Structure 1
């Protein structure tokens, strides 16, 4: 990656007028465009030559110039989406809440969800161990109660893990590689699955059982018991997960024994996705 290109791309955005131009074009229905005059009037600019200069700086990278006028590019739309989501300007506000779960360390059921400015954490009230951690975004808390915000963050985490199993990073679309970590360092988990994007270096990690929650065979097994694991928060499933018995062998195959002695064998291809027998 040429850092000068990156610096130039961000430098182009360092203007309030240019951001207003992008925001205005982002509100235009897709497949439509605005003429120079229409865009000038919508942005409420006061100087045509200055407006033309800033418009030209955005064109090609963030704006497309067409015969019918100007339209926002995919890169420009992503910039506006990040602005509206408050990704770089807003700090989520989150009040601690009580949640019912199953602590894998001490088996207590009372926990609290808190936010430290970086991660939302579900922490056991009895042993103070962290049970789950979430990336909490401004969009998670907007127009939601603290519990709803945690549920939204949980859905996002599960979707990212599900996509990572298919080898696709949800942040950038890059290739995800996985590895297994076992031993005392991951206790009380038996197997920790770690994913890393080869493009943006996003890293995800979760116990094997949590990673498998969205697998069709697992979803089907719980659906037969009238439980929808795709919509049930992970912290409410930890009690069920604690009854699984998962073993990883030397060929990267996992045998999971569920309550009732139902067995599923998962074959992990470290270069691709998982398969189930």
Structure 2
């Protein structure tokens, strides 16, 4: 989509009547088609000619006209979902909260989570380094305390990461390209896994140990130790992965020892769409 295409698409939504049309169609039980008269009555427009004009502007891109009436398209449904999620209208409110974790920089355990209007961060209170970063959304904080909101943001990040390392962007469904980054720039991590969507350019980057928390063998190992890593917040797992041994071999592969003699080896294929395992 070009910038002009995007401008035209958003311009179509610059009307209260059009948004009410979309919301009405989304709220129809079982997504049954509504006739022109049913939709007009539900939207409560000033007159039929005004309503007809706005409905026609939405038809094709956001609304589909079928033999039995009007239904919302997937694009129209996503617009309404974004509106209801307050993603573009509300700024999340988040009070600082104490967090117990494991700082990979200094080994301290006391940290604090704060929100600066862009990202929620967990910062070590001893060395002031940032341990974890999260995108905080209005839905995360709705009817939740700061700690519960942070847990919700962590669960969402983990879900997006799990999908990303499988090669699929959870935001748009596009192909993910994965890259291993090493060197002083990623210290204290040995290997940083960077996942970038080739469609919407969403980017996630985490140490390989965090990415591997989704690996079946790792999940099974912790499960045997009575720890469910799929529901435990990432900051509580950093102490569990702090002693993992990560090594690079001559063929650019990565060997990870995560429990005694348990090893996992990875080597990315150089393709547009890649996955970690």
Aligned pairs (5 A) from 1:13-52: 13-52=13-52
Specify whether residues 203 and 23 from structure 1 end up closer, same or farther in structure 2 by C-alpha distance, changes over 3 A only.
same
Counterpart of 2:100 in structure 1 is 100
Distance 1:208 1:253 in 2: 12
* Cα deviations by residue, 1:42-101 (Å, 9 ceiling, x for unpaired): 111121100010000001110011111111110000000000011110100001100110
Specify whether residues 153 and 250 from structure 1 end up closer, same or farther in structure 2 by C-alpha distance, changes over 3 A only.
farther
User: Quick check: 2:102–2:108 contact (8 Å CA) kept in 1?
Assistant: yes
* Cα deviations by residue, 1:189-238 (Å, 9 ceiling, x for unpaired): 00111111111111110101001111111111111111110110000000
Return the offset for 1:270: 4.2
Q: Where do 4+ consecutive residues of structure 1 move more than 4 Å?
A: none
Counterpart of 2:151 in structure 1 is 151
Return the offset for 1:156: 1.0
Counterpart of 2:243 in structure 1 is 243
Specify whether residues 215 and 29 from structure 1 end up closer, same or farther in structure 2 by C-alpha distance, changes over 3 A only.
same
Specify whether residues 270 and 109 from structure 1 end up closer, same or farther in structure 2 by C-alpha distance, changes over 3 A only.
farther
Distance 1:217 1:189 in 2: 21
Counterpart of 2:124 in structure 1 is 124
User: Quick check: 1:141–1:149 contact (8 Å CA) kept in 2?
Assistant: yes
Counterpart of 1:166 in structure 2 is 166
Return the offset for 1:266: 3.0
User: Quick check: 2:25–2:31 contact (8 Å CA) kept in 1?
Assistant: no
Distance 2:268 2:235 in 1: 25
Counterpart of 1:228 in structure 2 is 228
User: Quick check: 1:161–1:211 contact (8 Å CA) kept in 2?
Assistant: yes
Aligned length: 275
Counterpart of 2:276 in structure 1 is 274
Return the offset for 1:111: 0.5
Distance 1:261 1:117 in 2: 44
User: Quick check: 1:246–1:257 contact (8 Å CA) kept in 2?
Assistant: yes
Q: Secondary structure at the match of 1:274?
A: coil
When normalised by structure 2's length, the TM-score is 0.96
Distance 1:55 1:132 in 2: 46
Q: Secondary structure at the match of 1:159?
A: helix
Distance 1:267 1:194 in 2: 14
Return the offset for 1:244: 0.5
* Cα deviations by residue, 1:232-258 (Å, 9 ceiling, x for unpaired): 000000001101011122434221112
User: Quick check: 1:196–1:204 contact (8 Å CA) kept in 2?
Assistant: yes
Distance 2:203 2:263 in 1: 30
When normalised by structure 1's length, the TM-score is 0.96
Distance 1:111 1:2 in 2: 43
- Structure with the greater relative contact order (CA < 8 A, sep ≥ 6): 1 or 2? 2
Q: Secondary structure at the match of 1:258?
A: strand
Aligned pairs (5 A) from 1:166-205: 166-205=166-205
Specify whether residues 16 and 250 from structure 1 end up closer, same or farther in structure 2 by C-alpha distance, changes over 3 A only.
farther
